Amino acid sequence: MSTVAVVGGTGPQGKGLAYRFARGGHDVILGSRDGGRAAQAADELAARLGGRGGTVTGAVNAEATTKAQVALLAVPFTGHDVLVASLAAELADKVVISCVNPIGFDRHGPHGLELGGTSAAETAQALLPDSAVVGAFHHLSAVSLNGDADLLDHEDVLVCGDDQEAKQTVMELAATITGKPGIDAGALRLARQLEPLTAVLISINKRYKVRSGLAIHGVSGS
Ligand SMILES: NC(=O)c1ccc[n+]([C@@H]2O[C@H](COP(=O)([O-])OP(=O)(O)OC[C@H]3O[C@@H](n4cnc5c(N)ncnc54)[C@H](OP(=O)(O)O)[C@@H]3O)[C@@H](O)[C@H]2O)c1
Protein backbone atom coordinates (compact mmCIF):
# COMPACT_ATOMS: atom_id res chain seq x y z
CA MET A 1 0.00 0.00 0.00
CA SER A 2 1.32 3.43 -0.85
CA THR A 3 0.54 6.99 0.12
CA VAL A 4 -1.26 8.83 -2.67
CA ALA A 5 -1.40 12.63 -2.88
CA VAL A 6 -4.32 14.13 -4.76
CA VAL A 7 -3.48 17.55 -6.17
CA GLY A 8 -6.80 19.38 -6.40
CA GLY A 9 -8.26 16.89 -3.95
CA THR A 10 -11.03 19.28 -2.88
CA GLY A 11 -12.82 18.92 -6.24
CA PRO A 12 -15.36 16.20 -7.07
CA GLN A 13 -13.01 14.09 -9.21
CA GLY A 14 -10.06 14.18 -6.84
CA LYS A 15 -12.25 13.53 -3.84
CA GLY A 16 -14.05 10.66 -5.56
CA LEU A 17 -10.83 8.94 -6.59
CA ALA A 18 -9.36 9.59 -3.12
CA TYR A 19 -12.40 7.95 -1.54
CA ARG A 20 -11.91 4.83 -3.65
CA PHE A 21 -8.14 4.67 -3.09
CA ALA A 22 -8.59 5.01 0.68
CA ARG A 23 -11.32 2.37 0.72
CA GLY A 24 -8.82 0.12 -1.05
CA GLY A 25 -6.38 0.55 1.85
CA HIS A 26 -4.11 3.34 0.60
CA ASP A 27 -3.32 6.36 2.75
CA VAL A 28 -4.45 9.49 0.94
CA ILE A 29 -3.44 13.13 1.33
CA LEU A 30 -5.88 15.58 -0.23
CA GLY A 31 -4.01 18.55 -1.65
CA SER A 32 -5.30 22.06 -2.16
CA ARG A 33 -4.03 25.57 -2.68
CA ASP A 34 -5.55 26.24 0.74
CA GLY A 35 -4.63 24.09 3.74
CA GLY A 36 -7.92 24.78 5.52
CA ARG A 37 -9.95 23.65 2.53
CA ALA A 38 -7.87 20.48 2.27
CA ALA A 39 -8.35 19.71 5.97
CA GLN A 40 -12.12 20.19 5.69
CA ALA A 41 -12.36 17.91 2.66
CA ALA A 42 -10.22 15.29 4.43
CA ASP A 43 -12.46 15.41 7.51
CA GLU A 44 -15.52 14.84 5.34
CA LEU A 45 -13.92 11.89 3.59
CA ALA A 46 -12.63 10.36 6.82
CA ALA A 47 -16.12 10.61 8.31
CA ARG A 48 -17.57 8.88 5.28
CA LEU A 49 -15.00 6.08 5.52
CA GLY A 50 -15.79 5.62 9.22
CA GLY A 51 -12.45 3.98 10.00
CA ARG A 52 -12.44 1.64 6.99
CA GLY A 53 -9.37 1.53 4.76
CA GLY A 54 -6.43 3.90 4.77
CA THR A 55 -6.06 7.29 6.45
CA VAL A 56 -7.20 10.55 4.82
CA THR A 57 -5.51 13.83 5.67
CA GLY A 58 -5.31 17.24 4.02
CA ALA A 59 -2.42 19.57 3.20
CA VAL A 60 -1.38 22.26 0.74
CA ASN A 61 -0.45 20.70 -2.61
CA ALA A 62 3.32 21.00 -2.10
CA GLU A 63 3.21 19.33 1.32
CA ALA A 64 0.86 16.60 0.10
CA THR A 65 3.11 15.71 -2.85
CA THR A 66 6.26 15.77 -0.71
CA LYS A 67 4.83 13.12 1.60
CA ALA A 68 3.49 10.74 -1.07
CA GLN A 69 5.04 8.15 -3.41
CA VAL A 70 2.29 8.55 -5.99
CA ALA A 71 0.50 11.78 -6.93
CA LEU A 72 -2.69 12.30 -8.90
CA LEU A 73 -3.28 15.55 -10.78
CA ALA A 74 -7.01 16.31 -10.48
CA VAL A 75 -7.11 19.99 -11.39
CA PRO A 76 -8.79 21.78 -14.32
CA PHE A 77 -6.72 22.17 -17.49
CA THR A 78 -6.94 25.92 -17.00
CA GLY A 79 -4.15 26.74 -14.56
CA HIS A 80 -2.72 23.21 -14.87
CA ASP A 81 0.67 24.17 -16.33
CA VAL A 82 1.52 26.80 -13.72
CA LEU A 83 0.53 24.53 -10.85
CA VAL A 84 2.31 21.44 -12.20
CA ALA A 85 5.52 23.37 -12.91
CA SER A 86 5.48 24.72 -9.34
CA LEU A 87 5.49 21.14 -7.98
CA ALA A 88 8.38 19.80 -10.10
CA ALA A 89 10.78 19.40 -7.17
CA GLU A 90 8.21 17.71 -4.93
CA LEU A 91 7.16 15.32 -7.71
CA ALA A 92 10.67 14.30 -8.83
CA ASP A 93 11.27 10.52 -8.93
CA LYS A 94 7.57 9.84 -8.31
CA VAL A 95 4.69 8.37 -10.25
CA VAL A 96 2.38 11.19 -11.34
CA ILE A 97 -1.09 10.31 -12.64
CA SER A 98 -3.02 12.70 -14.85
CA CYS A 99 -6.80 12.34 -15.21
CA VAL A 100 -7.03 15.85 -16.68
CA ASN A 101 -9.42 16.20 -19.62
CA PRO A 102 -8.95 19.35 -21.71
CA ILE A 103 -12.56 19.69 -22.81
CA GLY A 104 -14.45 22.67 -24.11
CA PHE A 105 -18.16 23.32 -24.55
CA ASP A 106 -19.88 25.34 -27.25
CA ARG A 107 -23.28 25.40 -28.96
CA HIS A 108 -22.57 21.95 -30.47
CA GLY A 109 -21.83 20.49 -27.05
CA PRO A 110 -18.62 19.12 -25.50
CA HIS A 111 -15.43 18.73 -27.53
CA GLY A 112 -11.75 17.98 -26.97
CA LEU A 113 -9.64 21.13 -27.00
CA GLU A 114 -7.09 21.38 -29.80
CA LEU A 115 -3.70 21.29 -28.07
CA GLY A 116 -1.49 21.27 -31.16
CA GLY A 117 -0.25 17.69 -31.14
CA THR A 118 0.01 17.07 -27.41
CA SER A 119 -2.19 16.26 -24.41
CA ALA A 120 -2.51 17.33 -20.79
CA ALA A 121 -0.57 14.23 -19.67
CA GLU A 122 2.28 14.87 -22.11
CA THR A 123 2.36 18.52 -21.07
CA ALA A 124 2.71 17.39 -17.46
CA GLN A 125 5.54 15.04 -18.46
CA ALA A 126 7.35 17.88 -20.22
CA LEU A 127 7.02 20.03 -17.10
CA LEU A 128 8.12 17.16 -14.84
CA PRO A 129 11.16 15.62 -16.56
CA ASP A 130 12.20 13.73 -13.41
CA SER A 131 8.78 12.13 -12.82
CA ALA A 132 7.03 9.22 -14.54
CA VAL A 133 3.69 10.59 -15.77
CA VAL A 134 0.87 8.13 -16.44
CA GLY A 135 -2.54 8.98 -17.90
CA ALA A 136 -5.51 7.21 -16.26
CA PHE A 137 -9.02 7.61 -14.78
CA HIS A 138 -10.13 10.02 -17.54
CA HIS A 139 -13.44 8.25 -18.16
CA LEU A 140 -14.72 7.65 -14.62
CA SER A 141 -17.34 10.19 -13.62
CA ALA A 142 -17.06 11.98 -10.31
CA VAL A 143 -20.71 11.16 -9.62
CA SER A 144 -20.03 7.42 -9.89
CA LEU A 145 -16.81 7.67 -7.89
CA ASN A 146 -18.62 9.49 -5.08
CA GLY A 147 -21.62 7.17 -5.28
CA ASP A 148 -22.48 4.22 -3.06
CA ALA A 149 -21.55 1.33 -5.38
CA ASP A 150 -18.93 -0.91 -3.78
CA LEU A 151 -17.04 -1.31 -7.03
CA LEU A 152 -17.46 0.26 -10.47
CA ASP A 153 -16.89 -3.21 -11.90
CA HIS A 154 -18.81 -2.55 -15.12
CA GLU A 155 -16.10 -0.07 -16.16
CA ASP A 156 -12.45 -0.35 -17.20
CA VAL A 157 -9.64 2.08 -16.50
CA LEU A 158 -7.42 2.71 -19.51
CA VAL A 159 -3.83 3.50 -18.56
CA CYS A 160 -1.21 5.04 -20.84
CA GLY A 161 2.42 5.85 -20.15
CA ASP A 162 6.00 5.40 -21.25
CA ASP A 163 7.37 4.00 -17.96
CA GLN A 164 6.23 0.38 -17.62
CA GLU A 165 6.81 0.16 -13.86
CA ALA A 166 4.86 3.37 -13.23
CA LYS A 167 2.07 2.13 -15.47
CA GLN A 168 1.94 -1.14 -13.53
CA THR A 169 1.58 0.80 -10.26
CA VAL A 170 -1.37 2.72 -11.67
CA MET A 171 -2.99 -0.38 -13.18
CA GLU A 172 -2.93 -1.97 -9.71
CA LEU A 173 -4.31 1.21 -8.13
CA ALA A 174 -7.22 1.05 -10.58
CA ALA A 175 -8.34 -2.21 -8.99
CA THR A 176 -9.45 -0.26 -5.90
CA ILE A 177 -12.13 1.25 -8.13
CA THR A 178 -13.19 -1.45 -10.59
CA GLY A 179 -12.05 -4.59 -8.75
CA LYS A 180 -9.66 -5.47 -11.60
CA PRO A 181 -6.38 -4.03 -12.85
CA GLY A 182 -6.48 -1.17 -15.30
CA ILE A 183 -5.82 -1.95 -18.95
CA ASP A 184 -2.48 -1.06 -20.49
CA ALA A 185 -3.61 1.19 -23.33
CA GLY A 186 -0.15 2.01 -24.66
CA ALA A 187 2.24 4.94 -24.75
CA LEU A 188 1.72 8.30 -23.06
CA ARG A 189 1.04 9.98 -26.40
CA LEU A 190 -2.24 8.03 -26.58
CA ALA A 191 -3.51 10.46 -23.95
CA ARG A 192 -4.21 12.60 -27.03
CA GLN A 193 -6.95 10.12 -27.88
CA LEU A 194 -8.04 9.16 -24.33
CA GLU A 195 -8.55 12.68 -22.97
CA PRO A 196 -10.97 14.01 -25.64
CA LEU A 197 -12.87 10.70 -25.67
CA THR A 198 -14.45 11.97 -22.47
CA ALA A 199 -16.25 14.59 -24.58
CA VAL A 200 -17.98 11.71 -26.39
CA LEU A 201 -19.09 10.16 -23.10
CA ILE A 202 -20.45 13.52 -21.90
CA SER A 203 -22.31 13.89 -25.17
CA ILE A 204 -23.84 10.40 -24.79
CA ASN A 205 -24.79 11.22 -21.20
CA LYS A 206 -26.65 14.33 -22.32
CA ARG A 207 -28.41 12.60 -25.21
CA TYR A 208 -29.58 9.54 -23.23
CA LYS A 209 -29.69 11.08 -19.74
CA VAL A 210 -27.35 8.40 -18.39
CA ARG A 211 -23.89 8.16 -16.84
CA SER A 212 -21.98 6.20 -19.46
CA GLY A 213 -18.63 4.54 -18.86
CA LEU A 214 -16.04 2.62 -20.78
CA ALA A 215 -15.59 -1.18 -20.83
CA ILE A 216 -13.15 -3.05 -23.07
CA HIS A 217 -14.17 -6.51 -24.30
CA GLY A 218 -11.79 -9.23 -25.34
CA VAL A 219 -8.91 -8.50 -22.96
CA SER A 220 -8.20 -11.48 -20.73
CA GLY A 221 -8.91 -10.64 -17.09
CA SER A 222 -10.66 -7.36 -17.91
N1 LIG B 1 -15.62 15.83 -12.78
C2 LIG B 1 -15.55 14.68 -13.46
O3 LIG B 1 -16.53 13.91 -13.55
C4 LIG B 1 -14.25 14.31 -14.15
C5 LIG B 1 -14.14 13.05 -14.78
C6 LIG B 1 -12.92 12.68 -15.35
C7 LIG B 1 -11.83 13.56 -15.32
N8 LIG B 1 -11.99 14.77 -14.73
C9 LIG B 1 -10.84 15.70 -14.73
O10 LIG B 1 -10.38 15.79 -13.39
C11 LIG B 1 -9.91 17.12 -13.14
C12 LIG B 1 -10.63 17.66 -11.91
O13 LIG B 1 -12.00 17.71 -12.17
P14 LIG B 1 -13.00 18.40 -11.12
O15 LIG B 1 -14.35 18.34 -11.73
O16 LIG B 1 -12.78 17.84 -9.76
O17 LIG B 1 -12.44 19.91 -11.20
P18 LIG B 1 -12.68 21.21 -10.32
O19 LIG B 1 -13.67 20.94 -9.24
O20 LIG B 1 -12.96 22.32 -11.24
O21 LIG B 1 -11.22 21.45 -9.69
C22 LIG B 1 -10.62 20.56 -8.78
C23 LIG B 1 -9.78 21.35 -7.80
O24 LIG B 1 -8.68 21.96 -8.49
C25 LIG B 1 -8.28 23.13 -7.79
N26 LIG B 1 -8.16 24.22 -8.77
C27 LIG B 1 -9.14 24.85 -9.45
N28 LIG B 1 -8.65 25.78 -10.27
C29 LIG B 1 -7.31 25.74 -10.12
C30 LIG B 1 -6.22 26.46 -10.69
N31 LIG B 1 -6.41 27.41 -11.61
N32 LIG B 1 -4.97 26.15 -10.29
C33 LIG B 1 -4.76 25.20 -9.36
N34 LIG B 1 -5.75 24.48 -8.77
C35 LIG B 1 -7.00 24.75 -9.16
C36 LIG B 1 -9.37 23.45 -6.77
O37 LIG B 1 -8.87 23.10 -5.50
P38 LIG B 1 -8.37 24.20 -4.45
O39 LIG B 1 -9.13 25.47 -4.75
O40 LIG B 1 -8.76 23.60 -3.14
O41 LIG B 1 -6.91 24.32 -4.67
C42 LIG B 1 -10.50 22.51 -7.14
O43 LIG B 1 -11.25 22.06 -6.04
C44 LIG B 1 -10.18 17.95 -14.42
O45 LIG B 1 -9.01 18.04 -15.19
C46 LIG B 1 -11.21 17.10 -15.17
O47 LIG B 1 -11.08 17.22 -16.58
C48 LIG B 1 -13.14 15.16 -14.14
Q: Is the separation of the CB atoms in 41 and 16 below 8 Å? A: no
Residue type (1 letter), 151: L
Q: Domain-by-domain residue ranges, the chain?
A: 3-208
- Alpha helices for 70-182 (secondary structure H): 80-86, 88-91, 120-127, 142-145, 164-178
Residue type (1 letter), 70: V
Q: How many CA atoms, within 13 angstroms, populate the side-chain half-sphere of residue 27?
A: 11
What is the pLDDT, as a whole number, of residue 221?
A: 56
Q: Is the separation of the CB atoms in 31 and 9 below 8 Å? A: yes
What is the pLDDT, as a whole number, of residue 206?
A: 96
Average pLDDT over the chain, rounded to whole? 97
d(C-alpha 205, C-alpha 209), whole Å:
5
Task: Give the distance, in angstroms, between the CA of residue 63 and the centroid of all CA atoms in the same chain.
Answer: 19
Q: Percent of the chain at pLDDT above 70?
A: 99
Residue nearest ligand 1's atom 37 by CA: 8
Whether 145 is in the pocket of ligand 1, judged by its Cβ within 6 Å, is no
- Confidence band of 220 (pLDDT split at 50, 70, 90): confident
Whether 62 is in the pocket of ligand 1, judged by its Cβ within 6 Å, is no
Structure confidence by residue, pLDDT tens digits, 167-213:
999 999 999 999 999 999 999 999 999 999 999 999 999 999 999 99
Structure confidence by residue, pLDDT tens digits, 66-88:
999 999 999 999 999 999 999 99
Q: How many CA atoms, within 13 angstroms, populate the side-chain half-sphere of residue 20?
A: 29
d(C-alpha 96, C-alpha 48), whole Å:
26
- For the CA of 101, the closest atom of ligand 1 is 47
Q: Is the separation of the CB atoms in 80 and 125 below 8 Å? A: no
For a mutational test of ligand 1's pocket, the pick from 13, 140, 214, i.e. the residue with the most ligand atoms closer than 8 A to its C-beta, is 13
d(C-alpha 26, C-alpha 174), whole Å:
12
DSSP summary character for residue 190: G
3-state helix, strand, coil in the chain (%, to 5): 40, 20, 40
Residue nearest ligand 1's atom 35 by CA: 75
d(C-alpha 183, C-alpha 202), whole Å:
21
Q: What's the CATH number of domain 3-208, 3.40.50.1820, 3.40.710.10, 3.40.50.720, 3.40.50.300?
A: 3.40.50.720
For a mutational test of ligand 1's pocket, the pick from 32, 75, 96, 101, i.e. the residue with the most ligand atoms closer than 8 A to its C-beta, is 75
What is the pLDDT, as a whole number, of residue 163?
A: 98
